[in-house]
Structures are given as structure tokens and as C-alpha cells.
């Protein structure tokens, strides 16, 4: 980091994403308008995830990786769920991101929503992927959709692989989280924490997703109240981390006008503790000074050039590894197939 010019940063890290939701934009409207967070899950996301197949997941991953690269994000920590296409899904995501050249950390979000068999197949997919040398964590959807045994099994599997657990925590007001107590370790990723008390005693990094929380009207997490390390994620709404930084900043200012951009920028920087390789990546921006106070009030800052592992993957704003037009066209075709499945009776 030390030898970077004023118009450069290391590769930005998205600490929580849902690659599987990349094609959701433009999806058919739900049968009725969701009125609260649990209904948003039931009427939108839990209809989408059962419609996913490995081909749709592959194009979602290529599109997400492509747009991440175009936004200077070189590392994504993903949380995946596809109840009808579990086996092999994490490798499909990892391979697709590798083809584009973006780093990814994969986890399958285990849940008992589809019964004990679904939970055990989710655990098996995490185990299979990690055992085969894949970079990842063990995923849990959230404590409120898991049995106690499933949570214990996920924690144990993660321990065995020497990784943490990636889990949604207290996103909505009814999202019970107490069952996680006693399991968490410092390498866990705790996503949201909106409705956690200040003294929750859960260990791990808290990942804040300001835009997603506002979109779901779940409330403001007020991350500064926690002793945990804080990082920033998009929760599936793209991988433009400068944009996420700006939204997180204005949301924090709305709650406390004395908040400085440096605080929010430090949350973005914490992504490099979670994904250290991205520190070696170099992003050269179209803006003369990548200073938090300037960036908080400057829109439209774009990367000119992105180097990952010493190779130039974005040159003059154009991705060099893959045909971006082809990926967009194929992803649009996959999206139409997904929408047709969603509309099928
Ligand atoms: Zn999420």
C-alpha cells in the first residue's frame, strides 16, 4: 500500500455479497407487495433461490465478477443459496470468478428451511468445496432458519477446516440470534447485526450493508456501538464499494452529523484484513486523490486500470480477460430463463 500514488488504492473488498441475486434485477413482481422484512424474504428471495440452477448461477457469477472488476473491487466474499442446485454450486461460482480474474471466497448458506436433508446437503457442499482446496468459509443462512444441531454442525465443520462461519445475524426484528452464542470465534463474519444489543458478546467481524438495510427498512445498525471489527458489504446489490462507502457515510451522518468519512473508510479498509491478497492488487482511478473526505462527496469515480496478481485485468476501463459484451448478453439470456421459471405456475 505504501508505494501507491494518490490516484491509486489496493483492490477494494466486498465483505458480503450474494452472487446468485445478480440476475434478479427486472424479475417479475411478487404476487403481492411485501410489507415487512420477513415477507421480502418469502415473496422475493426465497422464490428466487429455488428457481436457480447451475447455469443461472454461472452467469450470475460472471456478471458480478465483471462488474466488480469494472468498479475496482478485486475480492468478493460471497454467501450462496440454491436449494434445488446445491451440489457443486460453490465450484461453479469459484470457476466463473476465476475466469474473469476476480478473487472470491465462497460459502453455502446452510438452512433448515427445506428440512434436515437440505441442511445436511448444504453442510456437505461446504465440506466438499473446502476439502477440494476451495477458498471459502462455512455458510449459515441465519440462526432463525436453523435448528440448534445445524448451527453446532456448521461451527464444528468450520473449526475442522480452520475457517470461520459466514452468517446473517439480527437483520430483521424477529431474527433471533441468541443460539449463536458460544459458537462464534474471531474469524466469523456476522452480517448486519441491526437488532443486536450493544453487549451481544458475539465474536467476529460485523459486516455492515447500509443500502440493503435501508432498502429493506430494517433499521440502522449503528455499527460504531459495537466492539467488533466492522467491514462493508453490498448484500448482493452490485460490488461498487466506493458507492457503498458513500451510502454508508450519508446513512451514518443522518444518525450522527459528527461522523467523519475516515471512520467509514476504515470499515472499507478492514476488508483487507479479511481478504489480504487484495492488498497486493493495484487500482488506478480517474480521480487525482483517493482521500476519504473527497470521495465522500465525489460521485462517478471510476477505475482506469486494475492489476491483480501483477496482471492487468482492466486497461483503460476495459476488461481484458473476457468479452464483457458476451457476458452481458449471456447473462441477459439466463435472466430471461430465470424470469420464465419464476412466472411458471
Ligand atoms: Zn446477505
CA of 32 to the centre of ligand 1 (A): 22
The pLDDT tens digits of the residues spanning 234-246 come to: 999 999 999 999 9
Domain range summary for the chain, segments of one domain joined by +:
8-343
In CATH, the architecture of 8-343 is Alpha-Beta Barrel (3.20)
Q: At 134, is the pLDDT very low, low, confident or very high (cuts 50, 70, 90)?
A: very high
The pLDDT assigned to 263 comes to 98
For the chain, percent of residues with pLDDT exceeding 70:
99
The pLDDT assigned to 334 comes to 97
Q: In angstroms, rounded to a whole number, what is the distance separating the alpha carbons of residues 318 and 48?
A: 31
The pLDDT tens digits of the residues spanning 309-326 come to: 999 999 999 999 999 999
Select from 283, 330, 317 the least CA-distant residue to 22: 330
CA of 161 to the centre of ligand 1 (A): 23
Beta bridge partners of 312: 307
CA of 138 to the centre of ligand 1 (A): 14
Average pLDDT over residues 322-340: 97
Residue carrying the nine cell digits 452468517: 167
The pLDDT tens digits of the residues spanning 194-215 come to: 999 999 999 999 999 999 999 9
Q: In angstroms, rounded to a whole number, what is the distance separating the alpha carbons of residues 231 and 14?
A: 8
CA of 183 to the centre of ligand 1 (A): 20
Q: In angstroms, rounded to a whole number, what is the distance separating the alpha carbons of residues 140 and 58?
A: 21
Q: 3-state class of 93 per DSSP?
A: helix
Distance in angstroms between the alpha carbons of the first and the last residue of the chain: 54
The pLDDT tens digits of the residues spanning 49-65 come to: 999 999 999 999 999 99
Average pLDDT over residues 215-222: 97
pLDDT for 344 beyond 90? no
| Alpha-carbon distances, residue 165 vs 6, 182, 190, 246, 344 (angstroms) | 36, 13, 8, 28, 35
Region label for 262, one of left (φ > 0), alpha (ψ between -120 and 50) or beta (otherwise)? alpha
Q: At 133, is the pLDDT very low, low, confident or very high (cuts 50, 70, 90)?
A: very high
CA dihedral 49, 190, 111, 38 (to 10 degrees): -60
pLDDT for 258 beyond 60? yes
How is 138-206 classified by DSSP, letter by letter? EEEEEGGGS-HHHHHHHHHHHHHHT--EEEEES-STT---GGGTTT--TT-EEEE-TT--TT----SEE
Cα angle 235, 319, 290 (rounded to 5 degrees) comes to 65
Q: 3-state class of 282 per DSSP?
A: strand
CA of 141 to the centre of ligand 1 (A): 8
CA of 245 to the centre of ligand 1 (A): 17
pLDDT for 295 beyond 80? yes
The pLDDT assigned to 274 comes to 98
CA of 119 to the centre of ligand 1 (A): 18
Asked if residue 97 lies in contact with residue 22, where contact means CB atoms within 8 angstroms, the answer is no
pLDDT for 2 beyond 60? no
Q: At 189, is the pLDDT very low, low, confident or very high (cuts 50, 70, 90)?
A: very high
Average pLDDT over residues 1-14: 90
Average pLDDT, the chain: 96
Q: 3-state class of 335 per DSSP?
A: helix
CA of 263 to the centre of ligand 1 (A): 23
Q: In angstroms, rounded to a whole number, what is the distance separating the alpha carbons of residues 343 and 229?
A: 42
The pLDDT assigned to 3 comes to 85
Q: In angstroms, rounded to a whole number, what is the distance separating the alpha carbons of residues 4 and 313?
A: 18
What φ, ψ does residue 90 adopt, rounded to 5°?
Answer: -70, -35
Region label for 256, one of left (φ > 0), alpha (ψ between -120 and 50) or beta (otherwise)? beta
The pLDDT tens digits of the residues spanning 98-132 come to: 999 999 999 999 999 999 999 999 999 999 999 99
The pLDDT assigned to 174 comes to 87
The pLDDT tens digits of the residues spanning 143-182 come to: 999 999 999 999 999 999 999 999 999 999 989 999 999 9
What φ, ψ does residue 190 adopt, rounded to 5°?
Answer: -105, 110
CA of 168 to the centre of ligand 1 (A): 6
Asked if residue 102 lies in contact with residue 308, where contact means CB atoms within 8 angstroms, the answer is yes
CA of 310 to the centre of ligand 1 (A): 31
CA of 192 to the centre of ligand 1 (A): 8
pLDDT for 32 beyond 60? yes
pTM: 0.97
| Grid coordinates given for 220 | 440502522
Other CB atoms within 10 Å distance of the CB of residue 340: 11
Amino acid at each position: 500500500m505504501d508505494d501507491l500514488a494518490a490516484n491509486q488504492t489496493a483492490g477494494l473488498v466486498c465483505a458480503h455479497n450474494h452472487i446468485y441475486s445478480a440476475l434478479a434485477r427486472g424479475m417479475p413482481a411478487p404476487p403481492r407487495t411485501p410489507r415487512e422484512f420477513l415477507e421480502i424474504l418469502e415473496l422475493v428471495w426465497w422464490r428466487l433461490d429455488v428457481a436457480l440452477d447451475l447455469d443461472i448461477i454461472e452467469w450470475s457469477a460472471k456478471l458480478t465478477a465483471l462488474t466488480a472488476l469494472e468498479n475496482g473491487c478485486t475480492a468478493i466474499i460471497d454467501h450462496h443459496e440454491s436449494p434445488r442446485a446445491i451440489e457443486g454450486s460453490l465450484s461453479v461460482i469459484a470457476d466463473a470468478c476465476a475466469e474473469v480474474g476476480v478473487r472470491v471466497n465462497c460459502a453455502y448458506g446452510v438452512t433448515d428451511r427445506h428440512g434436515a436433508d437440505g441442511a445436511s446437503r448444504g453442510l456437505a457442499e461446504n465440506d466438499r468445496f473446502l476439502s477440494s482446496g476451495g477458498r471459502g468459509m462455512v455458510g449459515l443462512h441465519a440462526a432463525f432458519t436453523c435448528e440448534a444441531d445445524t448451527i453446532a454442525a456448521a461451527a464444528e465443520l468450520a473449526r475442522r477446516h480452520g475457517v470461520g462461519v459466514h452468517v446473517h445475524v439480527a437483520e430483521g426484528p424477529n431474527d433471533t440470534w441468541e443460539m449463536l452464542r458460544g459458537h462464534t470465534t474471531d474469524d466469523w463474519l456476522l452480517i448486519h447485526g441491526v437488532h443486536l444489543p450493544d453487549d451481544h458478546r458475539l465474536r467476529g467481524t460485523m459486516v455492515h450493508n447500509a443500502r440493503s438495510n435501508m432498502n429493506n427498512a430494517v433499521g440502522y445498525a449503528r455499527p460504531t456501538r459495537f466492539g467488533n471489527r466492522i467491514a462493508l458489504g453490498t448484500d448482493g446489490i452490485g460490488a461498487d464499494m466506493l458507492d457503498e462507502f458513500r451510502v454508508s457515510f450519508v446513512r451514518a451522518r443522518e444518525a450522527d452529523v459528527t461522523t467523519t468519512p475516515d471512520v467509514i473508510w476504515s470499515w472499507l479498509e478492514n476488508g483487507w484484513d479479511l481478504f489480504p491478497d487484495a492488498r497486493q492488487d493495484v487500482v488506478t482511478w480517474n480521480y487525482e486523490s483517493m482521500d476519504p473526505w473527497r470521495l465522500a462527496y465525489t460521485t462517478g469515480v471510476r477505475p482506469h486500470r486494475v492489476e491483480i496478481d501483477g496482471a492487468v485485468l482492466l486497461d483503460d476501463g476495459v476488461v481484458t480477460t473476457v468479452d464483457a459484451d458476451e457476458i452481458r448478453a449471456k447473462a441477459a439470456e439466463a435472466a430471461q430463463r430465470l424470469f420464465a421459471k419464476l412466472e411458471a405456475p
